[in-house]
Amino acid sequence: MNSIEDETIAFVKTVNPLDKERNPRSVEEWLAEVEKQMKHSLRDVYLKSLKDYATKDRKKWLFDWPSQVVTVCDQTLWTQMVEKSLD
């Protein structure tokens, strides 16, 4: 996946628009698979980024990951801190 900001997230698994016999699959079928892989790949990068956050300086971490992932991780970490402060 490529963003307008020139950030790239690779699919965890390649999507092939052809079936096993090398015939074209229906558009609905392989596009549904593309959507599934987009979600799966974003989740994978998100979880890796969260783990990486604990091992690096924040400024370095910010620029090592795609901005969409950094934003979601920041929201997750902020929520965790708020919940912890309310306990």
Q: What is the pLDDT of residue 37?
A: 96
**Contact assessment for residue 77 and residue 53, using Cβ atoms and an 8 Å cutoff:** yes
* Percent of the chain predicted with pLDDT > 90: 93
Q: What is the pLDDT of residue 87?
A: 86
pTM of the model: 0.84
